[in-house]
Every structure is written in structure tokens, then in C-alpha cells.
Structure 1
């Protein structure tokens, strides 16, 4: 006689309501960024485990990214509707942020936003969350047209750049960044600008109108171009044509600058310590039918067999210059991280300088809006390395709207090209070894 299966002491968990797994994943993702300091793009994979549908994964990313973009303003709304301020790390506050950003930014109907938010409280103060959300919705809550920067970020940037800079940065925060592409053949700039329906701001560049299906555009499958912010293209532009000379592209992945240099006739050795990112670089080179020697190595341990004609060091940095695309950086980066990365940059810059031939060129770049990673770095380097001098760029070497500073280097901030969609924040210095 067959035995009767034992009855579980615990009731089976009810299946998740539609849309709830994505909201639960968004909660995990925000916790990873705000509590652990993980980069949003890296934490997304772990937070979205079990979510297969691409649209649902995109929703997870959108909820988290827009929550981070509007966090100070979301918190101001929540605080306006609570008698006692919720702790910053309270789950009720995080769940309210998620519900509000869906209703006020992503266009989710309020009833759906709160229905998928309440289960996230997990037996906590559901009544409080429901009441605060209802109060704000009945009061026709809105978010400011220009999101507020985190106070500590605004203060740091104002101290470095003046009060106008954080104001411009806040305005740029809410504008969808444009899509820039770099052309494999700069002589075809006019043709590709017409075919892609875009505008060129420099030879070999086209700025596209808003477009989501990038891989479906003409020329992508043929490898005629690749996506690269116009500011990110400046470091390689400052090295000009290679004519077969040798260049070291340090911290090269995912390969935008490597492709630029190869297309410009340089013999490129691309070095990065991430094998995974170098696989992507190799795939990108194959798509555009360009070649480079690819090396997986930590620059603190590696050295070339002989000095090169040119070295491009796109140094590891805080990436605060790409905050528009990655709003999590403003929540993860502070004085400690800036100081740590500045120390690493200084060490890499000294090593890279030894790998430049006499008469050769060294380009240093960071996608950071922190002077410690740009201006201060090069000022100190030049004071200690008299074999190098700044080689200021000529106007024709730079995109429209970008100019060299009085010191001879390039700094892109949110102000230039604001009327055309802006640029990422970059610092670039070109130096010649005597």
C-alpha cells in the first residue's frame, strides 16, 4: 500500500502577482547600489536572477535608475507626508521611492504602482506606505522639472567649478543623452550624417536623433561605425594619424579608442586587466574589420618590450562625467573613492610615461568631473616630470563647441554643447616627451 506523502508544516507561498518579481528585483538592485556601493550595471545581473523576459529586466533597470536620478526629490515628497521622518535605510522609504517613481516618472497607473509595492514591505508598515502614497497621489504630487543633485555632490562641484556648473549639471541630468557614433572612415562623414539623419560635430562623427534600435541602423552590421560619446573620442583624435607607428592603448576595453586608433593607421596594442571586457573589445574589432594586439594584464605589473611612439592612458576613474547615463555614480562616489582613484591614476601615469619614446606623445584622459582626477593630476605630473610638456590641441582637432583651456588641456563640462544635447564630462591632456 502506497504511503501518504507527509503534509508540510508550512503553507505554500502564493505565486507572485504579475509585475511583482520586477519590483522585487528593483528593490534588491537599489539596495546593492545604496547600501553596498555596487555599480548599477554590474549589480543588475545578480538582482534580476530568475527574470527572463527582456522587457521585465529593462523595467528593473528603469525603476532603479530613475529612482537614483530623482532620489532627493522623491525623499522630499515622502518627508512632506510623514509626521516622523523615516530613516534613510528604512524599507518603507525605499518601497515608497519605487512606487512614486513609477507613478510620477515611468507613467505606471498609481493603483498598479502601489499594488506591486505593498508586498515588498514584507509584513512591515503596509498601512503607512499605503497612506503616504495615497496622500501624495490625492495631493497631485509632482517632481521638479529639473531634478535636485545630492547636496554633497552639488557642493563639491560648486567648489571646483563655480555655482553655474551644478545648476547646468542638474539640467543635463534630466535630458536624455544623445547617441554619438564614430565612423571607421572619416572621409564619409557627410554621407553617413545624411543616411543616419544626424548632425556631424567633427570629422568622423555623427550625432543621431533619439534612437533605441541602434543595431538596426544602416551601417551597423557592416561595421561602418560604433557608438561613442563625442567627448570620449577626443583622446584618440589628439594622436592624429598613425602611419604604421606603434601606440599603447592602456585600460582599453571596451575598445572605442582602440578602434579609432586602428582606423587612423596606428599599430595598436590594447591592454586591459579584464579578460571579459577584452572579449567584447575583440568582438567589436571583428565587427568593424579592424585589428589590434590584445593583452590581458594589470598595468601595475606589465611593461612593454620597448617604448612606443604614443601612449593613451584612459585611466580608471570615478566616472562622474557619465552621471547622466549612470546616475548611480553620484550615490557611490565620495571623497574617499576620489582620493583612492587619484592615487592609482598617479601611479599608472608614472608607469605610462616610461613607455613613451623620446619625441613621442602621451595622452591622459578620465571621464570624471573631479579636478583631483584631471587638472590636479597633470599639474603634479608635469611638476615632477620635466621631460614632458603640454601640447595644446589646435582648434581643428576638436569637435565644434569644445575648446582647449588656457593651460592647453581639454575639459568638457555640462555647459558646452548644451543646446545640442551636451557631452559627457572628460579631462584630456596631450603631452610630448623631449
Structure 2
């Protein structure tokens, strides 16, 4: 059995990789990290792409991400051309996934796609890989549109949300999401082509390198998906104290600071807080930033507003992070839900009477949203839902009957879609 290695090695004395091969080796490492070791794609990138030039690093990431978007369909195609299915962790299967996604999706010429993946199976079944690839290309093989969700995900989401959600999710996974900008001052919109779906938020018509866009150096905006901007919007403008808990990478902190709040931003990850420090400096906004574990940290005083964008499975951001479709298991969802319960109970203690608590998760799992809120309200009688109103949301988005908000993959799909979220606004009596 030829298994994909944890650290792919070339035989001693082998010639150095030819042009294009190092990026494919890095893509192989990324796929191995996600599919076998359960790591997040972004988490594995630095190690997998170590030593690569920026363009090769970007190519490796693009190959791995597109493979993860279309993994069930790629595997079905491979299995259609072999006498018996290759093991899931076979080196040959990984190489074929990488070669086929380049040829069928990314537009790489067939000869370049196969020549750059064959070195990945040195010491393995190169003839098999070459033969299967050639057979499929000669047959004019294609991948279905939209892509197919992995069976475990489709079954779980269908049980929670039904047929339409699955159709919408498959449409959403087909293409990376658009680039959204939150404006520091809605009266100073940059001269960029895009659509205003909510005041103070611009969805660009085309993607571009972020630092090259007008207004970046001046700190006029920051990148933030429209859905991710809604929790802080629900707190509104104010001059009192606000806590942004689990704050990194910091878009919500910037929103609260721009809205006039005296913000304390807390996150356990110093490395992820680095981007918040950079954006505060770039935008000229102010906030106190604390690196601490919320299960141990305590504020010095109660806050008028508390925003808990809780750690979660992150299945709601599958459009931009397709690795979650393959590495998130029910055990992780249960683990994250248990952590949220503890964090929400602590956050509730830090809200001043009459103050606002906003709870949100970028998850499509009811355990991390609706069920979590029900559990909290059942044990915290001093809190009540403050209903979200339609005029606080993009046109076409409506709150649930109980006043909370559930964003599914079909939300604004014709306008580019939204990340999946659950959001609830509460008031302490």
C-alpha cells in the first residue's frame, strides 16, 4: 500500500525537483495535513510551503483548496477509471486528485498537470497514475457543477435544515466568496467598484490584492465578510464600555471602536491578535488588547456591551475554508459546544444590568447556535432576547420568529452569498 507520507521524502541521490513540482509537493503536504491529521488548511500552510516563493505558495494553497472543494467528485472520477478503488490514503490517489483538479478546474494543460505530479509518486505506482490520468483526459472527463458535498456533511446538514439548504451549500462551495470591506466611516467610501448591501459595507465587484486597493494605506476600511459584521452592528453606536471576547482577528473590535465604544479586545492567541494590532495602527482606531484565556481572565469592571463571537467548528465559513467540510466531526462540534457553554456563562457575568450581550458563532450546526441559546436562557433567567429587526439587516434577510438570526448558505446567494452564522442579541435585566 502506498500511503501519502506525513513528510514526503525523495529517494537519496534523486535529482532536485523540476519547475512546478515543489508547489505540488506542498499541495500534497497540505492535503495530508487536512485529511489525515485534521489540521486547518491555513494552520498547515506555513510548514507545508516552507521555502517556497510567494507565487508557488499561492499555487499550492489554490490547488489544495480547490481539491477540498471537489474531493467527493474527484474521488468518484478516479474510482471510475480503476479496477478497484485505491485506498483513501494512497499516494496514487493524492497525486491523481492534484493532477485532475489542475487539468479540469484550474486550467493547467494536461501535460503540465501530469508531469508535475508524477514525481510525487517516485517509488510508487507512476504507471498507474499516468494511465488513469491519461484515460480520463482522453475520455473528456469533467467534474459536476455544482460540486458534491461530502456524505457525512450532507447527511448532518440535511437533518438540520432540509433539501434546499443542501442545494444552496453546493452552489456556495462552487466558487470562492467575494471580497467584502467594512468602512471606518460610511460617509467616506473609497472609489472602488462594488455594491453597498448595508450602510458602511462594500462588496467589491472583483477581487484584487488587498494592500493595492484605494484606502488601504489610509485605514479607510478593513476586510470583513458582511455576515461577520452583523454581530457588532447589533450593538450599535455608543460611548460606554464594550468587551469583544474571542476578538481575533479583530474586525468586530474595529467596528466597535469606530462606533464610539471604549473597547477591550480579548483573545487567547497572541499570534492572531497581531493582525488586530496592525489594523488598529493602520486605521487610527483605539482599543485595549489583551491576550488571555477567557476561562481564567476577569475584567476589572462590568461592561455596557459584551460581544462573544464564540469559538466553534467554523462550518459556516466553508466557502472560504473548504477544509472544514473534511476535518470537522461530530466530536469536534460537541467539544466546541461545551466550550461555548462555559464561555457564555462567564460573559454573562460581565454585562452591566440593562446592558447588551451579543452571542454569535460562524457555524451551521444547531448545537452551536439555537441549542446553545436555549440552554443559556434556561439557566439564566436574568437575560431576555432583544429581537433583531429587518431594518438592521441586508434587504432580503429576515430574522427568525424568536428574534434571533440564522444565516444559511442560501442567504443573498445571487449577490455573492454570506457566511453561515447564528446571532442572538440579549439584554440583562
TM-score band (shorter)? over 0.9
- Match of residue 100 from structure 1: 100
Which runs of structure 2 are paired with 1:4-403 in the superposition (5 Å)? 12-51=13-52, 53-188=53-188, 191-192=189-190, 195-242=191-238, 244-403=239-398
- Match of residue 412 from structure 1: 407
Query: SS of the residue aligned with 1:282?
Result: helix
Question: Do the aligned residues in 2 keep the contact of 1:187 with 1:203 (CA within 8 Å)?
Answer: no
Q: CA deviation at 1:42?
A: 1.0
Q: CA deviation at 1:122?
A: 2.1
TM-score under structure 2 normalisation? 0.96
Structure 1 runs (4+) deviating above 6 angstroms are: none
Distance 2:338 2:229 in 1: 25
Distance 1:169 1:68 in 2: 14
Query: SS of the residue aligned with 1:212?
Result: coil
Distance 1:176 1:250 in 2: 28
Query: SS of the residue aligned with 1:361?
Result: strand
Alpha-carbon displacement from aligned partner over 1:323-379 (angstroms, at most 9, x marks no partner): 000000111101000000000000000000000011001000100111100010001
Alpha-carbon displacement from aligned partner over 1:180-220 (angstroms, at most 9, x marks no partner): 111111234xx44xx21111111111111122222212111
Alpha-carbon displacement from aligned partner over 1:242-296 (angstroms, at most 9, x marks no partner): 1x20000000011100000000000000000111111211111110110001111
Alpha-carbon displacement from aligned partner over 1:223-246 (angstroms, at most 9, x marks no partner): 11111111000000000111x200
- Match of residue 5 from structure 1: none
TM-score under structure 1 normalisation? 0.95
Q: CA deviation at 1:13?
A: 2.7
| Structure 2: runs of 5+ lacking an equivalent | 1-10
- Match of residue 7 from structure 2: none
Distance 1:218 1:281 in 2: 20
Distance 1:104 1:71 in 2: 13
Query: SS of the residue aligned with 2:226?
Result: coil
Question: Do the aligned residues in 2 keep the contact of 1:318 with 1:368 (CA within 8 Å)?
Answer: yes
- Match of residue 3 from structure 1: none
Q: CA deviation at 1:50?
A: 2.1
Distance 1:183 1:29 in 2: 34
Distance 2:318 2:12 in 1: 46
| Count of residues in Structure 1 that have an aligned counterpart in Structure 2 | 419
| Structure 1: runs of 5+ lacking an equivalent | 1-9
Question: Do the aligned residues in 2 keep the contact of 1:362 with 1:433 (CA within 8 Å)?
Answer: yes
Question: Do the aligned residues in 1 keep the contact of 2:389 with 2:403 (CA within 8 Å)?
Answer: no
Say which is worse superposed, 320-329 or 169-178, in terms of deviation.
Answer: 169-178
Say which is worse superposed, 203-212 or 368-377, in terms of deviation.
Answer: 203-212
Distance 1:172 1:421 in 2: 8
Q: CA deviation at 1:11?
A: 7.0
- Match of residue 3 from structure 2: none
Specify whether residues 84 and 409 from structure 1 end up closer, same or farther in structure 2 by C-alpha distance, changes over 3 A only.
same
Query: SS of the residue aligned with 1:103?
Result: helix
Distance 2:318 2:204 in 1: 20
CA RMSD of aligned residues (A): 1.1
Query: SS of the residue aligned with 2:338?
Result: helix
2:418 maps to 1:423: yes
